[in-house]
Amino acid sequence: TVIAANLEDPRGLALDNAGRFLVSDAGDSHQVKIFDATGKFVRVIGKAGAPRAGAYDPLHMNHPDGITVDSREHLWVAENDILPRRVSVWKLDGTFVDAFYGPSEYGGGGRLDPTDKTRFYYGGMEFKLDWQKGKDRLVNILYRPQVADGKLANIAPPEMPLYHNGRRFFTNDFNGNPTNGSAVVYLFAEKDGIVRPIAGMGRANDWDVLKGEAFKPNWPVGVDLKGNIWQDAGKNQTFFIWNDLNGDAQPQPKEVVWKQAMSGGITVMPDLAFVVSRIGSQATRFKPTFDTEGRPQYDLAKGEVLVSGMQGPQSSGGDQVLAGENGWTIATLGITPFHSHSVSGAKNGVPLWSYPNVWPGLHASHEAAKPDRPGQVIGATRMLGGFIKPQGSDAGEIWGVNGNMGNLYLFTSDGLFVATLFEDVRQGKLWQMPVAMRNMKLDGITLHDENFWPSLTQTPDGQIYVVDGSNSVLVRVDGLDSIRRLPDSTIRVGPEDLRKAQAWQLDAEAERQQASGSGVLMVKNRAEAPVIDGKIDEWAGAAWVDIDKSGIGANFNSNSKPYDISGVVSISGDRLYAAWQTGNKDLLKNSGENLIAPFKTGGALDLMVGATAADSKRSTPVEGDVRLLVTRIKDKTFALLYRAVVPGTKTPTPFSSPWRTINLDRVDDVSTQVQLAGADGNYEISIPLEALGLKPQTGQTIKGDLGVLRGDGTQTLSRMYWSNKATAIVSDVPSEAMLTPNLWGDWKFE
CATH number at residue 395: 2.130.10
Please give the Cα distance from 416 to 412 (Å, whole number).
Answer: 5
Same domain, residue pair 384 and 530: no
Same domain, residue pair 121 and 81: no
pLDDT of residue 517: 62
Kindly give, in sequence order, each residue whose CB lies less than 8 Å from that of residue 155, ignoring residues fewer than 6 positions away.
176
Q: Are 114 and 104 in contact (CB under 8 A)?
A: no
Grouped pLDDT means (10 residues each) for the chain, 750 residues: 92 96 97 96 97 97 98 97 98 98 92 98 97 96 81 88 96 95 97 94 96 96 95 94 95 97 98 98 98 94 98 95 98 96 98 96 85 94 98 97 97 98 93 88 93 97 96 95 94 91 85 74 96 94 88 48 82 98 94 95 97 86 97 97 96 91 96 97 97 95 96 90 90 93 94
Same domain, residue pair 86 and 123: no
CATH code (residue 706): 2.60.40.1190
Please give the Cα distance from 574 to 587 (Å, whole number).
Answer: 28
How many structural domains compose the chain?
3
Same domain, residue pair 18 and 88: yes
Please give the Cα distance from 18 to 143 (Å, whole number).
Answer: 41
pLDDT of residue 148: 63
pLDDT of residue 559: 47
Q: Are 4 and 33 in contact (CB under 8 A)?
A: no
Residue 167 covered by a domain: yes
pLDDT of residue 149: 65
pLDDT of residue 513: 74
Same domain, residue pair 582 and 634: yes
Q: Are strands 86-91 and 296-297 parallel, antiparallel or unpaired?
A: unpaired
pLDDT of residue 518: 65
Domain ends where: 47, 78, 101?
101
Same domain, residue pair 568 and 448: no
Domain ends where: 436, 464, 482?
482
CATH code (residue 57): 2.40.10.500
Please give the Cα distance from 627 to 607 (Å, whole number).
Answer: 6
Kindly give, in sequence order, each residue whose CB lies less than 8 Å from that of residue 40, ignoring residues fewer than 6 positions away.
none
Domain ends where: 82, 101, 120?
101
Same domain, residue pair 355 and 408: yes
Q: How many CA atoms lie within 13 A of 109 on its CB side?
A: 27
Main-chain phi, psi angles of 496, to 5 degrees: -65, -40
Residue type, 470: S
pLDDT of residue 407: 96
Question: Domain span at residue 20?
Answer: 10-101
Residue 500 covered by a domain: no
Please give the Cα distance from 602 to 567 (Å, whole number).
Answer: 19
Residue 173 covered by a domain: yes
Please give the Cα distance from 136 to 130 (Å, whole number).
Answer: 6
Same domain, residue pair 476 and 557: no
